[in-house]
Amino acid sequence: MLIDSFQRKISYIRVSVTDRCDFRCVYCMSEDMEFLPKKDVLSLEELDRLCNTFIDLGVKKLRITGGEPLVRKNIMQLFSNLGNKIGQGLEELTLTTNGSQLARYAKDLFDNKVKRINVSLDSLDKNKFKKITRNSDFNKVVKGIMAAKNAGLKIKINTVALKGINDNEILDLVKWCGENKFALTFIEVMPMGEIGEKRIDQYMPLTEVRSLIKTRYSITDDPLKTGGPAKYVHCHETNQKIGFITPLTHNFCETCNRVRITCTGKMYMCLGQEDKEDLKKPLRESENNDLLKKVIYKAILRKPKGHDFVIERKKDEKFVPRHMNVTGG
């Protein structure tokens, strides 16, 4: 069992299988992103071994993320191997995706024991969607979401609240998700990586989103605790769960149960801090996993108490230079 120095049990890993993506969302990436050379990226076999080592160490839940995980070649092989671990230590295998490849992979995901997925969708307006993603196809994503629904996957839509961009769509998103029986979670934009514009210009506190929802719907706090950062409400008219992830207005680190692994095998003990441990070296240095486990145990003890995101940085204040596609969400 992995336990950090604040007695938090680490039972959840998020694994980014690629930093590449077919979208360029304005809050996630800069327009001219450079991606890692393929030679630096762990093979699918290495990712599988890494995940299995964490399962041996007591990890129960695993989320595959990116970049866009479904653009990685042969990615279903990894899902297939990890799906076989369900009931053998692993309790849940999930995915965060932009939805662009779901029409192709929804059934395979379900067959590989993925039962729930998170799909990121920030707008229901085709043109606005194009603007946010810097030119991606809204219809393809909705087709993918519906394919996933038909394949039997439970869907949660993740929406980043963006000031002046999708703030007039909050109620429409609640309605659309309610009609389709999708859970919905709003996220505050986090100041990660240079994106060519000021974060404060994008930032919409979720207190405002909540107030907006209350103008049309009755919501009550839901006691549901997932161990994750979201606080939930129940929306009575749509009979749906709505989550709020508020790294800026509320620090949720006291119950954090997760670490994140990048596609090059770096383990970040906190999304909002730069400290990391290289797992590629111990993974490649020895064929048995003892050394790797030792390195993981030691690094977990460095997991910090919490992040310190600040949306409006003063000139010399430190910020997280890493873009979100490195560690995924």
Residue 114-143 contact track with ligand SAM, rule CB under 6 A, x = bound: ------x-----------------------
CB of 191 to ligand SAM, least distance (A): 7
CA 232/CA 76 separation, integer angstroms: 32
329 interacts with ligand SAM by CB under 6 A: yes
68 interacts with ligand SAM by CB under 6 A: yes
Q: Which is nearer to ligand SF4, 68 or 277 (CB)?
A: 68
- From ligand SF4, ligand SAM, none, interface partner of 166 (C-beta below 5 to 8 A by class): none
Q: Which is nearer to ligand SF4, 55 or 106 (CB)?
A: 106
158 interacts with ligand SF4 by CB under 6 A: no
CB of 312 to ligand SAM, least distance (A): 15
28 interacts with ligand SAM by CB under 6 A: yes
The structure tokens listed for 88 are 């053998």
CA 91/CA 45 separation, integer angstroms: 21
Residue 41-70 contact track with ligand SF4, rule CB under 6 A, x = bound: -------------------------xxx--
14 interacts with ligand SF4 by CB under 6 A: no
**What are the residues facing 321 on neighbouring strands?**
none
158 interacts with ligand SAM by CB under 6 A: yes
CA 282/CA 267 separation, integer angstroms: 12
- From ligand SAM, ligand SF4, none, interface partner of 24 (C-beta below 5 to 8 A by class): ligand SF4
Q: Quick one: which of 10, 13, 15, 28 contacts ligand SF4 (CB under 6 A)?
A: 28
Q: Which is nearer to ligand SF4, 66 or 282 (CB)?
A: 66
Q: Which is nearer to ligand SAM, 132 or 151 (CB)?
A: 132
Residues in 66-125 that interact with ligand SF4 by CB under 6 A: 66-68, 98, 120
Residue 275's CB is within 10 A of a number of other CB atoms, namely: 12
Q: Quick one: which of 96, 123, 133, 246 contacts ligand SAM (CB under 6 A)?
A: 96
CB of 36 to ligand SF4, least distance (A): 14
Torsion of the alpha carbons at 77, 58, 8 and 274, rounded to the nearest 10: -40
CA 48/CA 55 separation, integer angstroms: 10
Q: Which stretch binds ligand SF4 (CB under 6 A): 22-30, 76-84, 150-158, 193-201?
A: 22-30
Residue ranges that bind ligand SF4, judged by CB under 6 A: 21, 23-25, 28-29, 66-68, 98, 120, 324-325
